[in-house]
Copies of this chain bind each other. A is one copy, B any other.
Amino acid sequence: MNHPNCPLCHPQNEEVLLQTEHLRVIAVDNEPNAPALCRVIWQDHIAEMTDLPIEQRNEIMDMVYRVEAAMRRVLKPTKINLASFGNFVPHLHWHVIARFQNDANFPAAIWAAAERNAEVVLPDNWKEQVKRQLTEAA
């Protein structure tokens, strides 16, 4: 399934950390308030988790957990935030966000107004490290 106007069906300039038959993991820099954000994107253009059969729900969530585990190991965040919205782009994708007490919004959601200037310092190569963890765990 391939939707002609969907930016997740026709990705550009994505930084792909892992790709499988049914999904891909990308690292994202375009959410200004997110200190460290990966997305797990289902390949087919479906909108809701309950549009998938149970085996495929488990498949995408298992990858969300792998990304969560890798980000916890690499980034030691205060908290992991998981979210699947799709209000702008109704193509199933999960946000996996590492949150820190000194990020711009903590403890509010990253989509709330920023409360401070973020002072989070991440390893320069965190995406590379997460990618390696995902590849090794494959």
Contact = CB atoms under 8 A, between A and B. Distances in A.
Contacts of A83: 81-85, 109
Contacts of A78: 87
A72 interface: yes
B61 A88 contact: no
Given A61-B61, A72-B48, A87 B79 contact: yes
Prevailing SS type, chain A contact patch? mixed
Q: State the number of copies, please.
A: 2
A87 B61 contact: no
A2 interface: no
Interface residues of A, number: 33
A29 B90 CA distance: 26
Interface in A43-70: 47-50, 54, 57-58, 61, 64-65, 68-69
A40 to B, nearest CB: 13
Contacts of A48: 68, 72, 79-80
